[in-house]
Amino acid sequence: MYPEDLRYNKEHEWVRRENGRARIGITHYAQEELGDVVFVDLPEPGSTFQAGEAFAAVESVKAVSDIFAPVSGRVVEVNEALADRPELINEDPYGEGWIAVFEMDDPSELDGLLDAEGYRKMVEG
C-alpha cells in the first residue's frame, strides 16, 4: 500500500526518483477514495510546473480532482496509455498507472516530502 522506495506529498501523490527525473502518480489510497477513474487530463510535454501547482486532473465517477506537482520541473513524458485505459490508475497506481515524468529543477525538493512511514501515518491517522 505504501512502497518504501517512494516519496509522498500530502495531496496523495507519489514520486519515484529516476536519476534526475521524477515519475509521478497518485497513491493507492487516493485511487480508492476517488473510485473508478474514467478520464485523465494529462499535461503537455515540455510544460513546466512549480511544486504545489496543479499539472493534471483525474475524473472519477464521483468527482474531478486536480493532481498537484510534488516537485518543480518540466514534463518530459506523459502516460499516453491512460487516454484509452484510465482504469490503470485503479488497477496499478504505483506501476502502469503513473501519470507523468518530470525533469526536476531541484532534486533536493524530494527531501521535503513524506516517506512511506510518514505517509502511512497521515492516511491511517
Residues that bind another protein (CB under 8 A): 35-39, 59, 61-64, 86-87
Longest CA pairwise span in the chain (Å) = 38
The minimum distance between CB 83 and another protein, in angstroms, equals 11
List C-alpha distances in Å: 123 to 29, 72, 96, 114, 117.
8, 24, 23, 12, 10
Nearest CB to another protein, comparing residues 49 and 102: 49
Instruction: Supply the minimum distance, in Å, between the C-beta of residue 58 and another protein.
Output: 12
Measured between alpha carbons, how far is residue 69 from residues 61, 62, 101 in Å? 23, 22, 11
* Residue number with CB closer to another protein (22 or 89): 89
CB of 87 to another protein, least distance (A): 7
Name which of 20 and 35 has its Cβ closer to another protein. 35
CA dist., res. 22 & res. 100, Å (int): 8
